[in-house]
Structure 1
Amino acid sequence: MRELGLRLGAALRSGDLVVMTGDLGAGKTTLTQGIGEGLKVRGPITSPTFVIARVHPSLGGGPPLVHVDAYRLGGFAELDDLDLDASAEDAVTIVEWGAGLAEGLADDRLDVVISRGGQDAGEERRVELTGFGARWAALPELFG
């Protein structure tokens, strides 16, 4: 997951929205840690479950990372209260548990769905990347 995150981090830029979905323990935060490493932001990156959102400034002149955990939010109104659109153009925004809530934050987005490989698969994960909007039209070339 961390290696995939490094690859994603190298491709992400200011204004990008990533909406992550997956069961508890699927690897959403580990993927985000790799993205943060790829973006060269200040860490450590930990799950923002109880603080809801954290901002990780860039250490290398790139965009900051806004890391949101929508698990405890009651709906779009609570997500909207975080005022994420104020920094959306200048940052990379990742919303864990954001499916059904965060899609309206940007016209273009990358949906990441992580699933475990099954009971006998150990650490195996399946990751589906789906791009929406013109920004992600070249998704197959980026990660093919």
Structure 2
Amino acid sequence: MTGSAPPPAALPGENWQLHTQLPHLEATAEFARALAAHLDPGDLLVLTGGLGAGKTTFTRELAHALGVRGQVSSPTFTLSRIHPHEDPATADLVHVDAYRTDAAGIESLDLLATLRTSITVVEWGRGLVEQSLLGASGSWLDLELNQGTASPGQAGSEPAAHEEPRGGAPVIQTDFSETEEELLGVPRRAVLRGYGPRWMTTPTLPRGFNEHH
């Protein structure tokens, strides 16, 4: 995977799409909490979106709603973190960042060892982890977060993740490059997609999060 590439196109075979406008970061947090109620051990959520799109905020609120321990932050430089649940009998959260790795790197994380007993969230994993972890008959959720109100895939709706200045070296950015004020003030659009038999129907979310396509 290359750092300058935009989020890859959605995969074929989806059962449904749910589009949601998130006017501020708190709405992103509310959406995460609503979705957490539908997740069970063994579920895989593939999370896609550019820098500042709210991926880490979403995962942090998801973790809080699931009741797991530990500070949730962008795992860009550690690739993977396991957040155990307060109750040892309840699912842990496995948080993975696939941005700087490939299929071999994902395999080295041995996610299969925790997949069935945990809820796994993989940032930048679209097209990279679904088949390797689940096989052809697997089920997963795909969540794409984009800044602004344009539909995902529309030209200009998503800036490149890492941009290279003219005549200079590449600038490495992280999800912490923007201020809290900038993040809070930027509207986002979420597209949730369901794949496989586990997600044949759309999860029932609170009113305001159910714009079907």
Aligned length: 142
Runs of 4+ in 1 over 4 A off after TM superposition: none
Q: Is 1:49 paired with 2:76?
A: yes
Gaps of 5+ in 2: 1-27, 150-156, 158-184
In structure 2, what is the equivalent of residue 72 of structure 1? 100
Choose which of 180, 188, 205 in structure 2 pairs with 1:125: 188
Gaps of 5+ in 1: none
- Is the CA contact (8 Å cut-off) linking 1:117 and 1:124 kept in structure 2? yes
Counterparts of 1:112 and 1:17, CA distance in 2? 11
- Is the CA contact (8 Å cut-off) linking 1:22 and 1:114 kept in structure 2? yes
Tell me how far 1:38 sits from its aligned partner. 1.2
Choose which of 30, 54, 66 in structure 2 pairs with 1:39: 66
Q: Is 1:113 paired with 2:131?
A: no
Tell me how far 1:138 sits from its aligned partner. 2.3
Aligned-residue Cα RMSD (Å) equals 1.8
- Is the CA contact (8 Å cut-off) linking 2:38 and 2:203 kept in structure 1? no
Choose which of 62, 83, 90 in structure 2 pairs with 1:62: 90
Counterparts of 1:124 and 1:77, CA distance in 2? 35
Counterparts of 1:46 and 1:65, CA distance in 2? 13
- Is the CA contact (8 Å cut-off) linking 1:40 and 1:62 kept in structure 2? no
Q: TM-score scaled by structure 1?
A: 0.91
Tell me how far 1:15 sits from its aligned partner. 0.2
Q: TM-score scaled by structure 2?
A: 0.63
SS at match of 1:30: helix
Tell me how far 1:140 sits from its aligned partner. 4.6
How many percent of aligned residue pairs carry the same amino acid? Answer: 46
SS at match of 1:79: helix
Which structure has the greater CA radius of gyration? 2
Amino acid at match of 2:61: G
Choose which of 38, 51, 55 in structure 2 pairs with 1:28: 55
In structure 1, what is the equivalent of residue 36 of structure 2? 9
Choose which of 24, 35, 46 in structure 2 pairs with 1:19: 46
